[in-house]
Amino acid sequence: MTIESLTYFISIIEHKSISKAAESEHISQSALTQVVKKLESDYNCQLLERNNKGVTPTASGLLVYEYAKDLTSLSNALKNRLVCLNEGCYSIILKPCCSMDNQFIPTLMYHLQSEFPGVKLTTEFDNKIKTISEIQVGITDFGIVMGTTPKHDNIDVEIIGFEEIVLVAHASKKITELSVCDLNKHKVIDFSIASYLKDIHQKVEAMTTSSTPVGYQPFMSLDSISSIKTLIQNNFGIAFLPKYAITDELKSGVFQILPLKDFTYRLPIKVISKKNEDLSSLTIDFKKSLIKAAKKYFLQKN
């Protein structure tokens, strides 16, 4: 097994085709087929199933795919850091959660890069659990996450602001007020990779009665706010979304916020990192500036 072979395997899975992956990676189909055979030999299991549409991963193949993404990401991060080190610069990796305000991150990056011109700042959107794990082992320097965070002795957490999560529907829906017990009567679309989703479910379940003991079951789950907004614009379903994500639709009168009885949720937004005693002096200065700039942004916003 090599990083190169894992990279090829990722391409096969994502293209759902050996031939398309071969074209994308500029390698012959026979060579890619040999890569798969070698991986299957190394792991002693079948990784792909072939059909008339291409290939699909087996359960083992999906597991290898998930680990392969992490391993190749680690390899790339290591290469980038080594290049930066050899060039005499300093590298900092910042990972915001996927549902972050799309104006906040560029504004923050501009400020930090201006204040620290000698730092190579890299940002990559990722999920909360993975980001925390990578901070613990030193792969990632900072994360910006939403919602609850598990307590770790070697992780520092600082709240920098709040974002309101609201229940959104098309403006034409004639609903004056809902209770959490009414949610199962509607087609609720979950934002599947949102860092706040678990918190919302827990809060809803805590407010339910014996007649609806599990809160609500989502009608469907999507991994894109844009896709969810498209469905709502066509009057298909309702969804819990950050208020910032629907500002334009509220102003234009296309969307409405559904009043959910006794339910409000202001989501804490946090900067996470290692403890200061485990950081270099430059990283501590960078952290102070990051937190200061982030708090100023949310103060002005609210």
Whose structure tokens read 């012959």? 28
Please give the CATH number for the structural domain made up of 162-267. 3.40.190.10
Contacts (Cβ under 8 Å, ≥6 apart) of 137: none
CATH architecture of 76-154+271-301: 3-Layer(aba) Sandwich (3.40)
The CATH 3.40.190.10 portion of the chain extends over 76-154+271-301, 162-267
The CATH 1.10.10.10 portion of the chain extends over 3-70
**Tens place of pLDDT per residue across the chain (302 aa):** 788 999 998 999 999 999 899 888 899 999 989 999 999 999 999 999 888 888 889 999 899 888 888 788 778 777 777 776 676 667 888 988 766 656 788 889 999 999 998 888 888 887 788 888 888 888 889 999 887 888 888 899 999 988 888 999 999 988 877 888 888 888 999 988 777 788 888 888 888 766 666 668 889 998 888 899 999 999 999 999 988 888 889 999 999 999 888 888 888 889 999 999 998 898 999 999 999 999 998 887 76
Q: At what angle do helices 3-15 and 59-86 cross, to 10 degrees?
A: 130
Are 154 and 274 in contact, with CB atoms under 8 Å apart?
yes
SS (H, E, C) the chain: CCHHHHHHHHHHHHHCCHHHHHHHHCCCHHHHHHHHHHHHHHHCCCCEEEECCEEEECHHHHHHHHHHHHHHHHHHHHHHHHHHHHCCCEEEEEEEECCCCCCHHHHHHHHHHHHCCCEEEEECCECHHHHHHHHHHCCCCEEEEECCCCCCCCEEEEEEEEEEEEEEEECCCCCCCECHHHHHHCCEEEECCCCCHHHHHHHHHHHCCCCCCCCCCCCEEECCHHHHHHHHHCCCCEEEEEHHHHHHHHHHCCEEECCECCCCCEEEEEEEEECHHHCCHHHHHHHHHHHHHHHHHHHHHC
User: Topology of 3-70 in CATH?
Assistant: Arc Repressor Mutant, subunit A (1.10.10)
Are 135 and 273 in contact, with CB atoms under 8 Å apart?
yes
Q: Is the pTM of this model over 0.75?
A: no
pLDDT for 66? 86
Whose structure tokens read 């910042």? 94
